[in-house]
A and B are shown apart, each in its own frame.
Chain A
Amino acid sequence: SQTIHQWPATLVQPVGSPLSLECTVEGTSNPNLYWYRQAAGRGLQLLFYSIGIGQISSEVPQNLSASRPQDRQFILSSKKLLLSDSGFYLCAWSSLGDRVVTEAFFGQGTRLTVV
């Protein structure tokens, strides 16, 4: 069966510090990978998605970047965190295909607080 791992679960970082959140998927190959952010009381906002190694699409201009060094590894990074980067970050994967009814599976999330 497929599983998705995301860590750490919680993180408190000072403003201006770097960030690295990692997400890995097991049990499937060539998944679509996503990073979402959920601010308090808000819906999920898609930050990045990737359809393959080294292929990253950014949905919104921001202080963050994403990388996919391996097929089942997706990393969210920042060189200098801002207070506005605080939020709940979720990694997700789905099988590929525009015309296939696919389901997105989510990790447990990382609660990031920038102080």
Chain B
Amino acid sequence: KNQVEQSPQSLIILEGKNCTLQCNYTVSPFSNLRWYKQDTGRGPVSLTIMTFSENTKSNGRYTATLDADTKQSSLHITASQLSDSASYICVVHAGNNRKLIWGLGTSLAVNP
């Protein structure tokens, strides 16, 4: 069964600190993996997209990694800001159709 699991479910950090969010997936065949940021009450916004041949991709203070062998991805946030408070969702695109398999997200709270 195609699944995407994220950890931790929620996380609280202090402003300026770094954090890493985890994503494990069992989607097959794999096409690409995406990380989205969703502010409360808003639509998700894409942070990164990676194919199986990409190990790391950065978008400002966000760096995503992908290990296609172990089927794991991480999102590292550097020097967190209050505006980073949001839900971060890992999404895997199954290669045999147009379906996106969504994780439940990690709720991140950055406190001053």
Contacts and interface: CB of A to CB of B under 8 A. Distances in A.
State the majority secondary structure of interface residues on A. Answer: strand
- The size bracket of the interface on A is 20 to 34
A111 B43 CA distance: 11
Interface string B29-41: 0011010000001
A104 B60 CA distance: 20
A106 B102 contact: no
Interface residues of B, number: 21
Contacts, number: 45
Contacts of A111: 41
Given A101-B32, A101-B49, A106 B44 contact: yes
B18 to A, nearest CB: 25
Interface in A52-81: none
B46 A103 contact: yes
Contacts of B89: 43-44
B100 interface: yes
Interface of A: 6, 32, 41-46, 49, 51, 88, 90, 92, 98, 101, 103-109, 111
